[in-house]
Structure 1
Amino acid sequence: MSIHLRSASALALALSLLTAAPAIALPDNASDTTAGTTSPTPGSDGLGDPYYPQDGNGGYDAVHYDVAIDYDPPTHHLDGTTTVTAKATQDLSAFNLDFAGPPVESVAVNGAPAQFQRQGEHELVITPGAPLPQGQSFTVVVDYAGTAADTKGNGWTYTPTGGAFAAGEPHSATTWYPLNDTPLDKATFTVHATVPTGWEVASNGIRTGDVPAEGGHTVTWEAKDPIIGYLTTVAIDKFTKLEQRLSEKVNLESYFAPDAAKQKQKLEKQLPGVLTVLQDLYGSYPFESGGGIYVDTDLRFSLETQTRPIYAPWTDMNTVVHENAHQWWGNSVSVKDWRDVCLNECFASYTADILWPERKNHRDPDAIYLRALARAEQRDIWSIPLYDAGKGNEFTTVYSRGPLFLHALRRTIGDDVFFTAVRDFAESHRNGNASIPELRVFFQSRTGEDLSGFFDAWLNGTERPAEEYLYPGSLGDRSAQQTVDAPDSEEEADWPFGDGDRK
């Protein structure tokens, strides 16, 4: 049966607008017709990210997203009502949301119909009936409906059963709900998903509701910690569920698509142990829940969607460690712009590729480093810098050069300084944003040794760093380089680090 139900909150809104005139989509040549004032101005249609300058929007801060969707697996039809709660940061005559999903049917601002038009790849331009003064809180309700396009891993993605999930970096959320799509504007997030009987829903945060609906049920998930758009997800499938606990306060809830149910539950049962090791490294787990979502689609990457990563079928322990390290690095502490992606990937890769084998399997971290370094030239890891790699190169050398950089830094300043600084940086930027330049300054403040040459070579250089930066501290013992421990597998003998698809 095809289901096209709205959530209770969406129905209430619709009833309140029955007597109002419908919102009118503006033609492409429309202009702002707000009368009587020239003071309010439109918010910018982007925030100037060096790689994605039209990501995000100016003039307001998003506070909360309430997303109600009805999804019909047989037809892939998606009905959506998204309510954005925000606060104006200037006197606004108009503002944008980022949205590339199904056709928009109507827009309301503070309960009154608003004009709207779609521009470019993802701009939804909204003109309220009256300007919004600076400092005012306001709500935007966007109704949309249509067949949801399959982006095949760049947002809304179909599964073999007819279900769907959302995953992609640096973008994905715009394919299924409108938002301010920038790392700089974190907000809390609620999703209500209505699906047919027999289908299950997984998302971020805590599952807070499951109520009957015509022909199915509506499942509610709430993320009370602030979150970035690409880290939000919803997954709809005939899932099997696994419940575990990290502590009295942190529940771990994981979901397995039909083909993943048997083969991946054994792996996911190790999650409490993984998170315990990560807490020892980086401080207390930063969110209210955890878990994982195992899909059975031919997905080329896994992704650190907040609290509950999306896992591709090839997922292994390295992937689980990597994506959960992101809960600290990338999710709690997030980039300021996409030049800073080493903040996410260098730490997650170092955790999975060196720290986990060291802590869990008692491997020699220097030996892992030296073996990887010996093979580095074959991978051309030096020509692309770790900081400001350039658009399209963000997710390249961060997986190989990144963990080498952090281990060399650790050997330069010593374990005590390194691990204390790492924990302090993560805690001081909890639920916020940071940059690689800020990370440099922070580490420099913890040591009397001048690190400028080291950082320039490892983060900004496009050539192999000098020997003094490649072999600091214990790494400078050339005898150790002759006694590198044997790899555990043929795959590790080829390259001991992740292959770059494990985002």
Structure 2
Amino acid sequence: MGGMRMRIGATVTAVVLVVAATGVSSAAAAPDKPGQPRYTAGAVGAGDAYFPSSGNGGYDVQHYDLAVTYTPPAAAPAPLEGQFSGVATIDLVALQDLDRFNLDLRGMTVQSVAIGGKAAASVAPPAPGATVDGAAFWHVQDDANRVWELTIQPRPKIKTGQTVRVVIGYGGTTTRPLDIEDALYGWVTTRDGAIVASEPEGSMTWYPVSDHPTDKASYSFAITVPEGKVAVANGTQPKPATTTAGWTTWYWDAPDQQASYLTTASVGDFELRQTYTSASGVPIIDAVDTKLTPQRLATTNASLAQQPAMIDYFESQFGPYPFGSFGAIVDNDSVGYALETQTRPVYSSQASQGTVAHELAHQWFGNSVSPERWQDIWLNEGWATYAAWMWTERTGGISTQQAYNAWYAPARTPDYWALPIGDPGALGLFATQVYNRGAATLQALRVEVGDEAFFAGARLWLERYDDSTGTSEGFQAVFEETSGKDLDGFFQIWLRDPVKPPATWTIP
């Protein structure tokens, strides 16, 4: 299996809708570039080498308002399928004069589209290279090549700087989608609801989106589920849930800038807890599955009880908690992983203390500052793993240096060392080396530059790239700034060289 060509069963479907826009006059050519078209198509994809078709060019999304109605599967032996309908209201700003632009959407059918309050009608999708007269909208889903694109061709065309509201009605039958590594992700249907964890580009499985971290936006949610079910999303509840005729709508608001892969809207048999805050006043909201076994519930409760102290400690090391709330979603499902989502990490089966520390650290490293390219995922996972090492030391366990030494000591095969964590490939995003060698890189960096420069660099990184994205090159530059050292050789060894680093940083 190579590159982006994972085959999950190739299907191609098309739904095409006419789109109307107002208030913009067309122009055949740019005034300052005679002979060149003024209005052009936004790029199909954000330009990420690992996921070329994810995200889109030509615009910047400001806000997603997602209204979702979801019916979980019936009891076994009924098929493990849910019924989903949604209305996505998307506010975006054009970054160029747009002839057309795209949104990512996988596995859903579009029923309606409006721009500027005007309804749309459908046309057939064009053949490659063909033009389309008038306003048009089409949806191509090519599973074999991992291309899932809604293309909007508005008429009149959209001018640079114009704010546009797109309203899309869509829906379908939900199952259990797979990512490029054949792991469950996105909107994963469960018997009692859904567990939603979308890294790296699974948000497109449940709403139309520019699905790349470089296009952050704010979010609001209204999630309607059968009465008795609980729906949990990012942020806080702006108003209480409402119930009418057997359906309950849960409202959530996430006003901070957020990468699409960090959104969630998990549904299940949850107990919603809102009982404590950190010392700095961060409200903590947990949703814990009522079906956890007694042992898993005890582990989960003990771990979640440490969240306020963890926030206090990480704030002392990294600076203020970057968002308006925190918490957890603990789902009694067999997905088999924990995953960061902004403000509300998702845990499958139970939450352990080390994992909670890891996911909390992601709020700074990964959520506040996200990877500009997916190849730089070590900046997420290395920091989160290292912060868990720090928490272990804080609570009386082994020190970060001892954790480093324990990682460094074992003999490993050449294949382990061959993976360059600074560019692990699309199939290596969640390799253990990205986590553990990433954490070891940070401990070695701390030894290399000293504690003062190390923690000054961590805080400067978070301040400089807050609510944005960063790269390994930018990270190196920050630490060269705080330490006064040339770190080219250091980062070459740790991020790129396909061999075991020398014992230079192993301190007894």
Q: Distance in 1 between matches of 2:68 and 2:357?
A: 32
**Aligned match of 1:116:** 137
Q: 1:368 to 1:139 in 2, by over 3 A?
A: same
> In 2, are the aligned partners of 1:101 and 1:177 still within 8 Å (CA)?
no
Q: Distance in 2 between matches of 1:129 and 1:106?
A: 17
**Aligned match of 1:62:** 61
Q: Secondary structure at the match of 1:444?
A: helix
**Aligned match of 1:387:** 422
For residues 110-135 of structure 1, give each alpha carbon's deviation from its aligned partner in whole angstroms, at most 9, with x where no partner exists.
11234321123310111223211111
| Equivalent position amino acid for 1:108 in 2 | A
Shift of 1:106: 1.2
**Aligned match of 1:260:** 292
1:167 aligns with 2:173: no
1:370 aligns with 2:405: yes
Compute the TM-score of the two structures, normalised by the length of structure 2: 0.83
Shift of 1:449: 3.3
Q: Distance in 2 between matches of 1:128 and 1:113?
A: 12
1:280 aligns with 2:312: no
> In 2, are the aligned partners of 1:382 and 1:401 still within 8 Å (CA)?
no
Shift of 1:101: 3.5
In structure 1, stretches of 5+ residues that fail to align are: 1-23, 28-33, 481-503
1:305 aligns with 2:341: yes
Q: Distance in 1 between matches of 2:479 and 2:171?
A: 49
Q: Distance in 2 between matches of 1:364 and 1:288?
A: 31
1:225 aligns with 2:261: no
The aligned length equals 442
Compute the TM-score of the two structures, normalised by the length of structure 1: 0.84
Pairing 1:318-467 to 2, within 5 Å after superposition: 318-352=354-388, 354-375=389-410, 377=412, 380-396=415-431, 397-467=433-503
**Aligned match of 1:148:** 174
> In 1, are the aligned partners of 2:376 and 2:471 still within 8 Å (CA)?
yes
**Aligned match of 2:208:** 178
Shift of 1:398: 1.2
For residues 383-417 of structure 1, give each alpha carbon's deviation from its aligned partner in whole angstroms, at most 9, with x where no partner exists.
11121122211221111211111111111111111
**Aligned match of 2:159:** 133
Q: Secondary structure at the match of 2:402?
A: helix
For residues 81-122 of structure 1, give each alpha carbon's deviation from its aligned partner in whole angstroms, at most 9, with x where no partner exists.
001000011111111000114211011111123432112331
> In 2, are the aligned partners of 1:199 and 1:236 still within 8 Å (CA)?
yes
2:277 to 245, 249, 270: 245
Q: Distance in 2 between matches of 1:253 and 1:376?
A: 43
Shift of 1:212: 2.8
**Aligned match of 1:105:** 111
> In 2, are the aligned partners of 1:249 and 1:288 still within 8 Å (CA)?
no
Q: 1:71 to 1:416 in 2, by over 3 A?
A: same
For residues 221-248 of structure 1, give each alpha carbon's deviation from its aligned partner in whole angstroms, at most 9, with x where no partner exists.
0100011111000011121122221146
> In 2, are the aligned partners of 1:159 and 1:295 still within 8 Å (CA)?
no
Q: Distance in 1 between matches of 2:186 and 2:384?
A: 22
Shift of 1:36: 7.2
Q: Distance in 2 between matches of 1:376 and 1:136?
A: 58
**Aligned match of 1:47:** 46
